[in-house]
Structure 1
C-alpha cells in the first residue's frame, strides 16, 4: 500500500472525527452524506441498537463547533434577523393597502394578485435557494437574495399599472424566499451548540413581530402618505443590515466545514414540479373569482378546470419523482422533499394541519381589513389598528406554545388546542352582521383565531425539528413554511372567488352597479344613494361570512388531521434530541467506513 493511500485513508477517518457529536449534551451539527437508515420518534427505542452502534458512539465522533468572533456573531444575528423580518413583513403589510391600490388602478377585483404574486413566489423558490446555497455558498446566495428583494421592492413602488406591480411583487417574492430559507440555514451553522437550541425561539419572535407590525404599518403608511412607501421602505431599512452582513461574515477557519454540492446535484426537476403543482390551484380560484363577475359559467370552463387537472397531475408527478430520487439517486441529487420525512405520521399530520390553518389565518388577515373598510367605513389606518387583537394574540400564542413543550412533549395537545380555537373563532366570526358600527365581539373573536394560529405556528416548527433527522431539519422547516404559504394563497384566492360570486348576484344581476362602477367602487360609493350603500355593504358582509364558514369547515378538517398525529407514548424533547444525534453519529461513522473501504479498494 502506498504512502499516498495511507494519507488518504487517514484523511477519511479524520473527516469522521471532525464531523462531531457530543454524547453528554446530545448536540450536533450536520453535513450532507449518503442515506443511512435512522429511527424516528415514532419508532420504538429498541430499534436504536440496529441503527446506532454503541461502542463508537461517544469516542469516535465529536462535532466541531464554529468559533465566530463575538462581535461578528452578534452583527450577523442582527442583520439576518432584520432580513428575515422584512421578508415576512411583506406577506402581511399589504393587507390594509390592497383596497386602496385596487381603487387607484381601477381594478379592485384583481387586487388580491398583489398579495398572491409574493406568496406564490415564496412557495416556489424557498427550496431552490437552500439548494443553491450548497453550490454557491451561504454568503453569496444570501447577498443575491437580499439584492433581488431590495431592488424589486423599490421597483414595486414605481409601478405604473396593476400588471406591473404584480410582476414586480413576484420578483420581490423570489428574493424574500431566499432571505427566509438561507437565514434558517446560516443561523444554526454560525451558532455554538448551546445557541442552536435558541434559534427556533429567535426566529419565531422575529416572525411574530413582523405579523404584528405588518398590517399596522401598512395602514399607517397608506393613511398618511402613499401606498408606494410600503415598498420603498424596505430599501433604507434593508441596505444597512446587508452591508453589516458582508462586513461581519467570518472566514472559513471560524465556520463549520460544509460540504459543497455540484450544480448537477440541485433538484431542478423537483423545483419545477413544485411550482407546477402549487400555482395552478391558486390561479384557478383567483381567476374564476375575477371572471365570474362577467361569466356565470366560469366554474365549468377551462380557465377553472384545466389548472386544477394540471396541478393535480404535477402533484403526483412531484412525489413520484422525489420517491425515485430517494430510491435510485439519494447522493447524486439533493431532493427538495426527502421521502424519509414521509415515514413520520406526526410530521405528515403537521404538514396537512399547517396548510389548512394557513388557509384560515391568511383568509382572515386579508378579508377583515376589507370588511372594516367597506362594511364599517373605516380608514386603512383604523383597519390596521382593528387587527391588533388578533396579531398580538398570535405573538402570545407562539410564546405559550414554546413554554408548553419546554420539558415534556406536549406538541399534540398544543396543536389540538390551537386548531380548536381557530375553529371556534372562525365559526363565530361568520355570524357578524351588516352594521355600520363595528361589533365589539369582532375584536374578541379575532383573539381566538390569532392565539390558535400562534400556537400552531410555533408548534409546527417544533414538530419539524423533532421528527426530522439532523440532516433533514432545515428542509423539514422549509417545507412547513411552504405549505403554510400555499394554504394561505389558496385561502386568499378562494375568498376572491366567493366575493366575485356575491358581487355578481347582489350587485350586477340586480342592476345596482355596472361592471365599470364595480371596478371603481370607491368612486361609485361616493355618489350612490343610501340604499345602494347598504346593498354594497351587504354583498361584502355576506362574502366575508361565507368565506369564514368555509374556514370553519377547513378548521374541522385540520382538527382531524391533527388527531391523526397522536402518539401513545411520545419521547420527551430531550430524549428525542439525543436519539437524533445518536442516529447522526451512527450515520457519520458508517459514512467514514464506506469512504475508507472505497479508498482501500482503489489502492488494491
Structure 2
C-alpha cells in the first residue's frame, strides 16, 4: 500500500517551509521533484497498455459476436456479451476515481487490473452464454477502473516537459483501441478461436501490471494530494450515478431491433427510472454542497458542472462519442451484410479511421503544447466528424464497396482523435486538485455513455428498416463464412442488404445532426484566460501554499491570545 503517513508528512513539511518563502520559490518548495524521464517512460507504458486493453474490450467483440452466438446456439441474446461489459464499464468510472482518492492511485490501479485480467481469463473459459455474460460484467468493472484511473495518474506524475504532450498520447491510445478492437477481434476469431480475444489480456496485462508495480515512484516523486477516508465516500451518490447511467442506456440496448417493444413497459419503465435517478443525483449533490460539504465528497460535484468550459467539454465528448462508437460497430456490420466481407476484412477496413485518430491526437498535442487551443481545436474536430458522417450517408447499396468510404472514415477518425486529446486537457486545467480525479472520471464515463446510446440508436434504426422492408426475420439470416442465412430466398437477401444499407445511411445522417449540436456546444469552451497543464499545476501549487500560509497566520498568538 502507499505510505500515506509518509506522504502526508512530506507534504506538511514542504508546505511549512513554503509559508515563509517568496512567491517565486513556492513552486520549488511545494512541487515534488520530477520523475526521471526513463522511469517515467517505462511507467507510462505500463499504465497506457492498461488503458489500451480496457478500451479495446469495448469493441473487440464487435466482429466475434456471430462466432460466439453460433457456438452457444444463442444468436438472439448474443448482444449481451457486448452490452454487459459496456454497462459495467460505463457505470463505475467515477466510483473508481473516488476510490483512488481513498486507497491511493497505485493500489486502485492494481485492484482494477487484477479484476480485469482474472475475469478476462474467465471469459475465455466460459462454458455457457450465461457464464460469459456474468464474467464480462465483472471484467467491465476492472476495465472501468483502468480507464478512469489512468486519466488521473498520468497528469499527476508527468514531468513538465511531458505534460504538454499528454493529451496527444492519451488520445492516440484511446483512438487506436477503439478501431483496433474489431480488427484484432476479427483476426483472432478467423485464425484461432473467439476465446483468444479474452485470453490475450492475460499475458499482455500481466506484463504491463508488473511493469507498473516495479516502476511506481517513491513517495517524494508523488504529488501532495489529499487522501480521503471511506466515511467521506458518497455511497448514495455513487449508487445513483451508476443506476442513472446504466438505466438510461439499458432499455435502448435491451429492446434493440425489437421495434414492437418501444411502447411496452420493458422499454419505458427503465428509461423513466433512469431519468428520475439523474434528477435525484443532481438534487443530492446540491444538498451535500449546502449541508455536508465537509463530511462527504460528492460523487458528482456540482461545482464542476457550473464551470462553463468544463461542462461544454463534457457535453461535446458525450455527443461525439455517439457517432464514433456507432461507426465502429455499424460499419463492419454493413461491410459483412451489404458488401459480403468476412469479419477479418471488415475489421481491417477500419484502419484508416485508426490511423487518422492517431494523427488527430498528435496534432492536438502539438497545438496545445505551446498554448491552450482546446476551444479552436474542439470546433474544428467536431466539424471533421460532421463532414465525415455526412459523406458516409451518401454511400450506395451496391455489393461492391465504394473506395471513397474509407476516405470518409478518415475525417471521423481525425476529429475524434483531436477531441479525446483536448477533452483530457480541458478536464485537467478546468478542475481543482481535489476534483481532478472525478473530472477525468466523468469525462471517461460520458464518452462511453454517448457511444452506448449511439449503438442502441443504430440497432433501433436497423430494426425499423428491416421491419419495413423485410418483415419479421430470425437472426439466423446474418451472413457468415459458416453459411448462415442460406435459408433466405434471393429476394429476401436483397431486401436485407437494402435494409442495412438504408439503415447505415440513416445512422450517418443522425450522427451528422448530433455532430452539428456538438459544434454549437463547443462555443461554450471559449475563455479569454486559458492555462496549459504546467501552468495549471503551478497555479494550484501557489494556491495551496497561500491557503496554508493564511491558516497559520490565523493561529499566530497576538498579545498572549490566538486570533
| Number of the residue aligned with 2:281 | 318
Residue among 507, 517, 522 paired with 1:557? 517
| Number of the residue aligned with 1:339 | 302
What does 1:74-85 align with in structure 2 at a 5 Å threshold? Answer: 74-85=41-52
Establish whether residue 571 from structure 1 lines up as the match of residue 529 from structure 2: yes
| Number of the residue aligned with 1:31 | none
What is the CA distance between 1:67 and its match in structure 2? 6.2
| Number of the residue aligned with 1:58 | 24
Residue among 245, 248, 261 paired with 2:215? 248
| Number of the residue aligned with 2:79 | 112
What is the CA distance between 1:92 and its match in structure 2? 2.5
Alpha carbons of 1:75 and 1:545: their partners in 2 closer, same or farther (altered >3 Å)? same
What is the CA distance between 1:592 and its match in structure 2? 4.9
How far apart in 1 are the matches of 2:476 and 2:422? 46
Contact kept? 1:375, 1:435, Cα under 8 Å = yes
Alpha carbons of 1:190 and 1:465: their partners in 2 closer, same or farther (altered >3 Å)? closer
| Number of the residue aligned with 2:15 | 16
TM-score, normalising length: structure 1: 0.83
Contact kept? 1:465, 1:473, Cα under 8 Å = yes
**CA-to-aligned-CA distance 1:579-601 (integer Å, 9 cap, x gap):** 66435523442245436757989
How far apart in 1 are the matches of 2:503 and 2:16? 62
What is the CA distance between 1:409 and its match in structure 2? 3.5
Alpha carbons of 1:326 and 1:157: their partners in 2 closer, same or farther (altered >3 Å)? same
Which deviates more, 385-394 or 424-433? 424-433
Residue among 57, 82, 87 paired with 1:90? 57
How far apart in 2 are the matches of 1:113 and 1:541? 24
How far apart in 1 are the matches of 2:156 and 2:417? 27
What is the CA distance between 1:111 and its match in structure 2? 3.3
How far apart in 2 are the matches of 1:72 and 1:440? 44
What is the CA distance between 1:484 and its match in structure 2? 0.7
What is the CA distance between 1:427 and its match in structure 2? 2.1
| Number of the residue aligned with 2:69 | 102
How far apart in 2 are the matches of 1:93 and 1:599? 61
How far apart in 2 are the matches of 1:549 and 1:585? 49
Establish whether residue 226 from structure 1 lines up as the match of residue 197 from structure 2: no
Alpha carbons of 1:359 and 1:462: their partners in 2 closer, same or farther (altered >3 Å)? same
Establish whether residue 207 from structure 1 lines up as the match of residue 174 from structure 2: yes
Alpha carbons of 1:118 and 1:324: their partners in 2 closer, same or farther (altered >3 Å)? same
TM-score, normalising length: structure 2: 0.89
How far apart in 2 are the matches of 1:68 and 1:580? 15
SS in 2 for 1:217: helix
What is the CA distance between 1:78 and its match in structure 2? 2.5
Contact kept? 1:289, 1:501, Cα under 8 Å = no
Which 5+ residue runs of structure 1 have no aligned equivalent?
A: 1-9, 21-53
| Number of the residue aligned with 2:291 | 328
How far apart in 2 are the matches of 1:271 and 1:229? 34
What is the CA distance between 1:355 and its match in structure 2? 0.3
What is the CA distance between 1:152 and its match in structure 2? 0.6
What is the CA distance between 1:132 and its match in structure 2? 1.7
What is the CA distance between 1:102 and its match in structure 2? 3.5
How far apart in 2 are the matches of 1:65 and 1:584? 10
| Number of the residue aligned with 2:6 | none
Alpha carbons of 1:75 and 1:179: their partners in 2 closer, same or farther (altered >3 Å)? same
What is the CA distance between 1:163 and its match in structure 2? 3.2
| Number of the residue aligned with 1:172 | 139
Residue among 262, 270, 279 paired with 1:299? 262
Which 5+ residue runs of structure 2 have no aligned equivalent?
A: 1-8
Residue among 396, 412, 420 paired with 1:449? 412
What is the CA distance between 1:184 and its match in structure 2? 2.9
What is the CA distance between 1:368 and its match in structure 2? 0.5
**CA-to-aligned-CA distance 1:76-116 (integer Å, 9 cap, x gap):** 22322221221122122222223333344444454333223
What does 1:332-411 align with in structure 2 at a 5 Å threshold? Answer: 332-411=295-374
Alpha carbons of 1:565 and 1:240: their partners in 2 closer, same or farther (altered >3 Å)? closer
**CA-to-aligned-CA distance 1:362-407 (integer Å, 9 cap, x gap):** 1111000111111111011111111111121111111112223333
Establish whether residue 548 from structure 1 lines up as the match of residue 508 from structure 2: yes
| Number of the residue aligned with 1:125 | 92
**CA-to-aligned-CA distance 1:559-598 (integer Å, 9 cap, x gap):** 221233344xx23545x86466435523442245436757
Contact kept? 1:66, 1:191, Cα under 8 Å = no
| Number of the residue aligned with 1:589 | 546
Contact kept? 1:132, 1:141, Cα under 8 Å = yes
Contact kept? 1:470, 1:584, Cα under 8 Å = no
Residue among 248, 256, 269 paired with 2:236? 269
Alpha carbons of 1:15 and 1:71: their partners in 2 closer, same or farther (altered >3 Å)? closer
Establish whether residue 492 from structure 1 lines up as the match of residue 455 from structure 2: yes
How far apart in 1 are the matches of 2:107 and 2:505? 47
How far apart in 2 are the matches of 1:455 and 1:589? 36
What is the CA distance between 1:448 and its match in structure 2? 1.5
**CA-to-aligned-CA distance 1:283-311 (integer Å, 9 cap, x gap):** 1111222443xxx2x22211111112111
How far apart in 1 are the matches of 2:123 and 2:32? 42
SS in 1 for 2:92: helix
Contact kept? 1:108, 1:519, Cα under 8 Å = no
Alpha carbons of 1:208 and 1:153: their partners in 2 closer, same or farther (altered >3 Å)? same
Alpha carbons of 1:518 and 1:216: their partners in 2 closer, same or farther (altered >3 Å)? closer
The structure whose RCO (Cα within 8 Å, separation 6+) is larger is 1
| Number of the residue aligned with 2:402 | 439
Contact kept? 1:216, 1:384, Cα under 8 Å = yes
Establish whether residue 533 from structure 1 lines up as the match of residue 532 from structure 2: no
| Number of the residue aligned with 2:3 | none
